[in-house]
Amino acid sequence: MSHYSEVQIELIDEGFLVAALSRLGFKGKVEVHREAQPLYGYQGDVRAQKANVIIRRQHVGQAANDLGFERQPDGRYRVWVSDYDRKYNKYDDAWLGRLKQAYGVEKAKAEAKKRGYRVSEQKQEDGRIRLVLRR
Instruction: Write the pLDDT tens digit of every residue in 98-125.
Output: 999 999 899 889 988 999 999 888 888 8
The contacts found for 124-133 with CB under 8 angstroms, 24 or more apart, are 129/101, 129/105, 131/105
- Give CA–CA dist 82/27, Å, rounded: 21
Q: Determine the pLDDT at residue 9.
A: 57
Straight-line distance from the first to the last Cα atom of the chain, in angstroms, rounded to the nearest whole number: 53
63: left (phi over 0), alpha (psi -120 to 50) or beta: left
**Any idea where the domains of the chain sit in the sequence?**
4-106
> Residue 60 burial (CB < 10 Å; 0-12/13-18/19+)?
buried
Residue 29 pLDDT more than 70?
yes
pLDDT score, position 122? 81
pTM of the full predicted structure?
0.88
Nearest C-alpha neighbor of 11 from the set 92, 81, 88, 96: 96
**Mean per-residue pLDDT for 121-132?**
84
The better pLDDT of the pair 17, 129 is held by 17
Question: What per-residue confidence (pLDDT) applies to 129?
Answer: 86
Q: How many CB atoms lie within 10 A of CB 85?
A: 25
pLDDT tens across 31-71, in order?
999 999 999 999 999 999 999 999 999 999 989 999 999 99
